[in-house]
Amino acid sequence: MNLLDPWNTPFDVPPFEAVTDDDFAPALDQAMADARRAIDAIAASKEPPTFENVIEAMDIAERPLGRVASLFFILAGADSSDKREDLQREFSPKFAKYSADKAGNTALFARIDALWQARADHDLSPEQQRVLMLARRGFIRSGAQLEGDAADRLADIMQRLAHLGTAFSQNLLGDERDWYMELAEGDLDGLPDFVVATARSAGKDKGLDGPVVTLSRSLIVPFLQFSTRRDLREKAYNAWTARGANGGDRDNIAIAQEILDLRAERAALLGYDSFADFKLDTEMAKSPARVRDLLMQVWDPAVATAHADAEILAAMMADDGVNGPLQPWDWRHYAEKRRQAEHDLDEAELKPYLQLDNMIAASFACANRLFGLDFKPVDVPLYHADARAWEVTRGGDHVAIFIGDYFARGSKRSGAWCTAFQTQARKPHLQHPIVLNVCNFAKPSDGAPALLSMDDARTLFHEFGHALHQMLSDVDYAAVSGTSVARDFVELPSQLYEHWLDVPAVLQEFAIHADTGQAMPPALLDRVLGAATFDMGFQTVEYVASALVDLAFHEGDAPADIMAKQAQVLDSIGMPTAIGMRHATPHFAHVFSGDGYSSAYYSYMWSEVMDADAFESFEEAGGPFDADRAKSLHDNILSRGGSEDAEVLYTKFRGRMPDAGALLRNRGLAAE
């Protein structure tokens, strides 16, 4: 089909059932050519520049391209194929060149700049002024003020970065897809039934008769927690941490090295001392120094807690007769045993209460109580049999379409994320959001209910928090819609929404045992909530270490040896030997698959300062479902997107900016 034709589908959902991989190349080429012509016409216009004939006109010109590109790149991440990977390698540099050519269109930038300089003469709304400012700033940061060789070099850099980011992602996907470890019946010692069932299902997916361990987080983490076979834990852990670093055509180390070199050159061309300075200039943090200050405020109590925990785990290991130091493949195993001993909490006991369908219902129910949203399943064709869709309404009015794609598979990249096939906007014409959550939970055997860990359930709530930010957006222009905000602000709604999973009333209603149909007993509920900050030293250390390495990579000149730099940073902060980085360099997709979280992996913690403080405001008021607090959250943050500065939005919601105290209390790291 011609993807540029009107889709004429229910709710504007993409026509998945009619799309073939062969449809993308002609549609993308045509849409890009059409957009180029339209942009050139806008730039060449002799009419005085106005918001309508420049900014809105550019939006209209690029919407067909954006619609097809969103469809393609979302499918390339969520349901890849050899053909889609080939197309991704072909089109990523084309999009980089398109962006570079647009940024280098001096006549177009002149019209934007003229409109900005004369903005007082135009009757622009505050949102229009914000959109205009962001457009002008984006052009400048893309090199619009560069000339000659500098402009040409920046364009070359951006195309090369697009190619490298795609290669990094595809190498990582290939390693995750291809590695597995077969398990004989004697290799299942210590594994609960749910882990064995998941391993057998994974083996079936690989065309094998027996169970396997794969590099899917939803399988390898419980294997590391429960397996009594230390040799197999070591083998699995080493494979997991070696993703992207196995040599050959898929090795990501040289790719990451070149990316850092090119980013440093890009920043210098644009007049910045380092890529970190360039990247953070538009974030809430503003400078690397402020980021480092926050991370080190958290690092010191976290690493002290981790060292104390390591001594306890090492003693437990010695009691088992295991000689030698505690290793990274031991930590999760003995932490799980300690959790069972100290909190009487066994994940095998807990998991049957966390059915996927019930946790989805819980996330919907909280959104209903807080924001009045209703969710109704809709039968529309989707891109994979595992995906499902709901119409979201409020007071009977259509708000959005929400799609959930929850199970791991070989065609899906690892992790969890939220994206949108279509973002909310009212102008130049109305469009409702079509939002997608993608997760990688273990798929159950035929007919069995899907069961989540507490970490899985938290991931589900997290991604749904992002979805709410998209679905509740209520702005005029897509440029500031939904999650189009500063990177260190975008995680606030998602991390804040995680708190509602820990609300006792929510678990009492939705944590229903898959076999007995009984609600979670109060004693177990108390143990679950009592263990909320268990092993938080480990979790904080593995995250902050990754954030500090990311920051160090992008400060100053690019390191001459990226792996040596990683080792030097970890040594300088006293990284415990028994804890690995959450994302080591060769598989640090947040940082190297694109620019999104480069120099900005810290943003989860920056946002957590706000989310912990924000949830405290609910607790200080009428409780987690306080109507006034929910309305303020909706009106000042979730509906506003990027229509105002992030600090202004948070201050309107809370009355002030927070400090790190609430975060440390939330993680159980505050001094007694």
Task: Transcribe 531-563 into DSSP letters.
Answer: TTTTTHHHHHHHHHHHHHHHHHHHSSSPPSSHH
Residues 339, 453: Cα–Cα separation, whole Å: 14
- For residue 502, being part of any structural domain is answered with no
Output the six-digit token pair for 190: 């210590």
Same domain, 45 and 111: yes
Identify which has the larger pLDDT, 383 or 556: 383
- For residue 528, being part of any structural domain is answered with no
Give the whole-number percent of the chain exceeding pLDDT 90.
95
Same domain, 147 and 224: no
- 463 carries an active-site annotation: yes
Same domain, 224 and 134: no
| pLDDT number for residue 445 | 78
Same domain, 161 and 191: no
pLDDT over threshold 90, residue 174: yes
Per-residue pLDDT reduced to its tens digit, 103-128:
999 999 999 999 999 999 999 999 99
pLDDT over threshold 80, residue 71: yes
Peptide bond into 428 cis (omega under 30): yes
Per-residue pLDDT reduced to its tens digit, 412-423:
998 999 999 999
25 CB-near residues (< 8 Å, 6+ apart): 87, 90, 91
Residue finishing a domain among 243, 260, 284: 243
Residue 308 neighbours by CB distance under 10 Å: 10
Residues 175, 604: Cα–Cα separation, whole Å: 26
Same domain, 109 and 219: no
- The overall average pLDDT reported for the chain is 96
Residue 522: pLDDT band (50, 70, 90) is very high
Residue 447: pLDDT band (50, 70, 90) is confident
| pLDDT number for residue 397 | 98
Same domain, 203 and 167: no
Same domain, 415 and 489: yes
Angle between helices 57-78 and 24-44 (to 10 degrees): 160
CA 632 to chain centre: 25
574 CB-near residues (< 8 Å, 6+ apart): 303
Same domain, 225 and 166: no
Range of the domain at 230: 180-243
Number of H helices, E strands in the chain: 26, 7
Same domain, 121 and 186: no
Question: pTM for the full model?
Answer: 0.93
- For residue 273, being part of any structural domain is answered with no
| pLDDT number for residue 672 | 57
Residue finishing a domain among 243, 263, 289: 243
- For residue 75, being part of any structural domain is answered with yes
Same domain, 43 and 163: yes
Same domain, 132 and 205: no
- For residue 505, being part of any structural domain is answered with no
Domain of 360: which CATH number?
A: 3.40.390.10
Closest CA to 583 of 240, 166, 168: 240
Per-residue pLDDT reduced to its tens digit, 560-572:
999 999 999 999 9
Residue finishing a domain among 222, 243, 264: 243
- Total domain count, the chain: 4
Domain of 99: which CATH number?
A: 1.10.1370.40
Q: What is the 3-state secondary structure (H, E, C) of 341-391?
A: HHHCCCHHHHHHHCEHHHHHHHHHHHHHHHHCCEEEEECCCCCCCCCEEEE
- For residue 511, being part of any structural domain is answered with no
Same domain, 199 and 81: no
Residue 348: pLDDT band (50, 70, 90) is confident
- For residue 515, being part of any structural domain is answered with no
- For residue 635, being part of any structural domain is answered with yes
Q: Which of 127, 463, 491, 542 is catalytic?
A: 463
pLDDT over threshold 90, residue 144: yes
Rounded to an integer, the average pLDDT of 181-205 is 94
Output the six-digit token pair for 601: 């992996």
